[in-house]
Amino acid sequence: MKKIIIGSAISLMAITAVYGQETQEQNMALKLGTLGLGIDFSTPINEDIAFRFNVNGATTTRQETVDVTRYDADLKLLTVGALLDYYPSEGSFRLTAGAYYNANKFDLVATPTLVESISVGGNTYTSADIGHVNATVEFNKIAPYIGLGWGNKPSSEKGWGFTFDLGAMYQGSAIATAEAIVNNSAPQFIKNQIAADVERERVQIEDDMSSYTWYPVIMIGVNYTF
C-alpha cells in the first residue's frame, strides 16, 4: 500500500516537473460520495489533458442481533487513484480513464448469544460448538476506472469551483474468506462438519456477490485552482 502511494506521488512529481513550465496552475479538491471522503490533486499535461491523483476512504461499523445471533459488520473503504482527465472543450466537462488501488472490504463476525444457536451452512450449532464465525469480502486490488465529470481543470481560472464524478470501477468478482472459531472441546466430527459448512457459506457469499463486479463511483465536492 505504501509503495503504491509513494510510486504514484513520484509519478505526479515527475509529470509536474516536465510540464510545469507551460503552466503553473494546479488544482485540489475535497469530495464525498460512494468512495467515502476523498482528496484530489490535478496537474495539467497539456491544455486538454490533466493527470489526477486521489485518495479516498471511510469506515462504518454496525452491530445488530437477529434472532439469537449477534452480527458485527465493518465496511472499510480505501482507494488510491491514478487518472487521466480529458477536457474536449474549453469548459470543465471531462472524460476520465485510469485505475484504482482497491482496498475496499467488508468484515462480518457472527456470534451466538449465550448458549443459543447459530446457523452455518444449513446446520445449527450452539455456542458450545462455535465461538464465532468470521467472514471477509474483498475484490481485485487493481480496478480499472472509466467515467465522466465536471471540474478539477487545472488550467481554469484561479479560485473555487464545483467538482463532480460519475463512473464505474471494475473490481472483478468477490473474493470471500470465512472461518469458524471452534471450541476445542467440540467432538472431531462436529469440527469437520463445521469446516464443511463454513466452506459452503463462503461459496454462497461469493455467489451472492457475483453481480457486483462494477462498483459505482459518484463523488461531489469543491475544488480550488491555484
pLDDT in tens, 125-180: 777 777 778 899 999 999 999 999 998 887 767 889 999 999 999 999 999 999 88
Residues in a beta bridge with 88: none
Lowest mean pLDDT among 116-120, 150-154, 207-211: 116-120
pLDDT, mean over the chain: 84
| CA pair distance 92, 151, nearest whole angstrom | 5
Lowest mean pLDDT among 19-23, 112-116, 119-123, 169-173: 19-23
| CA pair distance 206, 177, nearest whole angstrom | 9
Residues 6+ apart with CB under 8 A from 186: 128, 129, 194
User: What count of Cα atoms within 13 Å lies in the side-chain half-sphere of residue 159?
Assistant: 2
Provide the domain limits for residue 154: 2-225
- The C-alpha angle with vertex 117 and arms to 115 and 120, in degrees rounded to 5, equals 140
Q: What phi and psi values does residue 129 have, to the nearest 5 degrees?
A: -100, -45
Quick check: 13 pLDDT over 80?
Answer: no
Q: How far is CA 167 from CA 13, 94, 216, 220, in A?
A: 26, 12, 6, 12
Domains: count for the chain: 1
We report the CATH number of the domain holding residue 172 as 2.40.160
The one-letter amino acid code at 210 reads: S
